[in-house]
A and B are shown apart, each in its own frame.
Chain A
Amino acid sequence: MSDRIFGAVGLALGIFYLWAATIIPDSFMSDVVGPRAFPYIVGAIICICAIIFLILPDPDPVWPGLRDLAEIIFAGAVMFLYGWALSPAGFVVPTVFATAYLTWRLGTPPLWSLVTGAATSVGIYVVFHLVLGLSLAKGPWGF
Chain B
Amino acid sequence: MLSNLGDGFLIAMTWQNLLLALMGCFLGTLMGALPGLGPANGVAILIPIAFSLGLGPTASLILLTSVYYGAMYGGRISSILLNIPGDEPAMMTCLDGYPMARQGLAGEALTLSGIASFVGAFFATWGLVLLAPQLVKIALLFGPAEYFVLFTLAFATLGGISSTNQAKSAFAAALGLGIAMIGSDSQTGSQRFTFGEIHLYDGIDFLIAIVGLFALSEVFIFLEHHKGGAVGNSGAMKIGRIMPDWPMVRRCIPTMGRGTVIGFIAGVLPGAGASLGSFLAYSVERSTVDPDNKTFGKGDPRGVAAPEAGNNAASGGALVPMLALGVPGSGTTAVLLAVLLQLNITPGPLLFQKNPDIVWGLIAALFIGNVMLLLMNIPMVGLFTRVLLVPTRILMPVVAMISFVGIYSITGSTFDVMLMVGFGLMGWVLRKLDVPMVPIILGILLGNEMEVNMRRAMTISDGDWSIFVGSPLAIVLWVVAIAGFLAPIVVGRVLRRKQAALSDEIAEGD
Contact = CB atoms under 8 A, between A and B. Distances in A.
Given A32-B462, A43-B178, A106 B190 contact: no
A65 B219 CA distance: 17
B239 to A, nearest CB: 22
Interface in B164-223: 165, 167-168, 170-171, 173-175, 177-178, 181, 185, 187-193, 195, 216, 219-220, 222-223
B178 A83 contact: no
A102 B400 contact: yes
Contact of A38 (B220, B229, B451, B462): B451
A142 interface: no
**Residue among B48, B195, B421 with max Cβ neighbours from chain A (10 Å):** B421
Nearest to A88: B414
A83 B229 CA distance: 27
Contact of A76 (B187, B404, B425): B425
B166 to A, nearest CB: 9
Contacts of B191: 24-25
B423 to A, nearest CB: 11
Interface in B381-400: 392-394, 396-398, 400
B190 A24 contact: yes
A12 interface: no
B5 interface: no
A36 B342 CA distance: 38
Contacts of A86: 408, 414, 417
B433 A6 contact: yes
B398 A120 contact: yes
A80 B421 CA distance: 7
B458 A33 contact: yes
Contact of B175 (A33, A39, A46, A58): A46
Contacts of B404: 79, 82-83
Contact of A83 (B31, B175, B421): B421
B223 A68 contact: yes
B409 A136 contact: yes
Interface residues of A, number: 67
A75 B230 CA distance: 18
B458 A31 contact: yes
Nearest to B461: A32
Interface residues of B, number: 72
Contacts of A49: 167-168, 170-171, 174
B397 A116 contact: yes
B454 A103 contact: no
B10 interface: no
Contact of B171 (A20, A50, A56, A68): A50
A34 to B, nearest CB: 8
A24 B322 CA distance: 35
Interface in A65-119: 68, 71-72, 75-76, 79-80, 82-84, 86-87, 91, 95, 98-99, 102-103, 105-108, 116
A97 to B, nearest CB: 11
A124 B177 CA distance: 34
Contacts of B224: 64, 68, 71-72
A31 B459 contact: yes
Contacts of A35: 185, 187-188, 190, 192
B290 to A, nearest CB: 23
B402 interface: yes
Nearest to B220: A72
Contacts of A17: 178, 193
B226 A61 contact: no
Interface string B402-414: 1011001110101
Nearest to B176: A42
Given A31-B187, A107-B229, A134-B45, A102 B397 contact: yes
B238 interface: no
Interface in B92-139: none
Contact of B408 (A20, A38, A84, A137): A137
Contact of A27 (B45, B188, B408, B454): B188
A75 B219 contact: yes
A59 B98 CA distance: 25
Contacts of A83: 404, 414, 417-418, 420-421
B178 A120 contact: no
B231 A107 contact: yes
Contacts of A20: 193, 195
A89 to B, nearest CB: 11
Given A2-B433, A108-B393, A120-B397, 16 more contacts: A24-B193, A32-B455, A39-B178, A39-B193, A45-B173, A64-B224, A83-B414, A83-B418, A83-B421, A86-B414, A98-B401, A105-B226, A106-B392, A106-B396, A128-B405, A133-B49
5 smallest beta-carbon distances between A and B, as pairs: A83-B417, A106-B393, A102-B397, A134-B409, A49-B171
14 contacts: A31-B456, A31-B458, A32-B458, A32-B462, A32-B463, A38-B177, A49-B168, A58-B165, A68-B224, A75-B223, A79-B400, A83-B420, A128-B405, A132-B27
Interface of B: 27, 31, 45, 48-49, 165, 167-168, 170-171, 173-175, 177-178, 181, 185, 187-193, 195, 216, 219-220, 222-224, 226, 228-231, 392-394, 396-398, 400-402, 404-405, 408-410, 412, 414, 417-418, 420-421, 424-425, 428, 432-434, 450-451, 454-456, 458-459, 462-463, 509
